[in-house]
Homo-oligomer: A and B are copies of this chain.
Amino acid sequence: MAETTDDRLRLLIERVERLEEEKKGIADDIRDVYAEAKAVGYDAKIMRQIVRLRKMSPDDRAEMETILDLYKAALGLG
């Protein structure tokens, strides 16, 4: 009985571990794509910004840019 419960816990933990492995594999693939982009001359940091911007709605993007401009002006950035 206790063994069955232990097995259930172990199986749940092992499912998490397999999924974490998969997730790590994909994170590695993402790193590879950025490395490939860098190798052909793109700026990986800017690409990450683009990915982030494309995830936002046009409204959210416009709002973020307005606030960013405001803060930049307040701090005397170009």
* Chain A residues within 8 Å of B, Cβ to Cβ: 8-9, 12-13, 15-17, 19-20, 22-23, 26-27, 29-30, 33-34, 36-37, 40, 42, 47, 50-51, 54
Given contacts A8-B40, A9-B42, is CB(A22)–CB(B16) below 8 Å? no
- How many angstroms from the CA of A3 to the CA of B10 in the assembled complex? 53
Given contacts A12-B37, A30-B23, A42-B12, is CB(A17)–CB(B54) below 8 Å? yes
Which residues of B are found within 8 Å of A29, using beta-carbon distances?
19
Which residues of B are found within 8 Å of A17, using beta-carbon distances?
51, 54
Which residues of B are found within 8 Å of A9, using beta-carbon distances?
37, 42, 47
Which residues of B are found within 8 Å of A51, using beta-carbon distances?
13, 16-17, 20
